[in-house]
Amino acid sequence: MHFHIITLFPEMFDSYLGESILARAIKEKKIQVSFYNPRTFVSGKYKRVWPDGNVSRIVDDRPYGGGPGMILRAEPVLKAIESVLKKLEAKSKKQKARPQIKIINFSPSGKKFSTSYAKQVAGKYSNLILICGRYEGIDARVKKVLRAMGYATDDISIGEYVLTGGELPAMVLIDSISRQVKGVLGKYESLEEERVSSSEVYTRPEVLLHEGKKFRVPKVLLSGHRKNIEEWKKKKQ
């Protein structure tokens, strides 16, 4: 699975992808994550070169119809997405196979993300393009242009709250979808779906002492009685 992230803030991903299971999955090439920053695609009047040599690349502009906040402009976002599509097309020509591409747009009013959606995309696609919005959102014509190009996008929300950007949602999807990719989870971290899991878990010591009080592991878990343990876990789900 190759994740292509369209974001103004690629560095935000470094620490999360640099540790633990996802870092291992990237190192072992089970998953791949690439970044495309719309800011690097800014041209024309939105690119200003100052006398001191500094360059400003402006990615946002004021909303038509008024209102607070700024809107991420369509052009640099589309150029970033097109650069991914071009790369994938070139690759598929070389390999003589069409890449399976899904484009996902993040929105707090989109379809609620779930494990079943994660499974579905992990099973069907080899390339996911995730578009991270910022400010008041992205010019709606990005989706319209993509649709005209033959790419229907999915609008996905990770929950009923509004975040400042799509970067956290993208990390949530990378994490959850990667779990569905073969070989990402080691044998000690197997998929929940394949075993009886519970949200109440314990490890050593058997008795935890805190300020003179004893906190014990439920007896059933120490019993070695498989059937009773599974039943207890089911109840605790």
Pick from 25, 60, 85, 166 the residue near ligand SAH by CB under 6 A: 166
Element (H, E) at 85: helix 74-95
Does 165 participate in binding ligand SAH (rule CB under 6 A)?
yes
Say if CB 135 and CB 69 are below 8 A apart. yes
User: Helix (H, G, I), strand (E, B), or coil: what is residue 108?
Assistant: strand
- What are the start-end ranges of the E strands in 142-227? 153-157, 207-210, 213-216
Looking at the Cβ atoms of 76 and 169, the one nearer to ligand SAH is: 169
Looking at the Cβ atoms of 78 and 158, the one nearer to ligand SAH is: 158
* Interface with ligand SAH: number of residues (CB under 6 A): 19
Strand-pairing partners, residue 2, are 32, 127
- Minimum distance from residue 105 beta carbon to ligand SAH (Å): 7
Say if CB 153 and CB 146 are below 8 A apart. yes
- Minimum distance from residue 131 beta carbon to ligand SAH (Å): 7
- Minimum distance from residue 9 beta carbon to ligand SAH (Å): 12
Pick from 59, 81, 104, 132 the residue near ligand SAH by CB under 6 A: 132
Say if CB 65 and CB 91 are below 8 A apart. no
Q: Please, which of residues 51-110 interact with ligand SAH by CB under 6 A?
A: 106-109
The structure tokens 């996802």 sit at 22
Pick from 55, 140, 148, 162 the residue near ligand SAH by CB under 6 A: 162
Tell me the CA distances in angstroms from 173 to 68, 117, 131, one per residue in order: 29, 10, 12
Residue 16's closest CA among 134, 165, 174? 174
- Minimum distance from residue 45 beta carbon to ligand SAH (Å): 24
Query: Where along the sequence are the contacts to ligand SAH (CB under 6 A)?
Result: 106-109, 132-134, 136-138, 157-159, 161-163, 165-166, 169
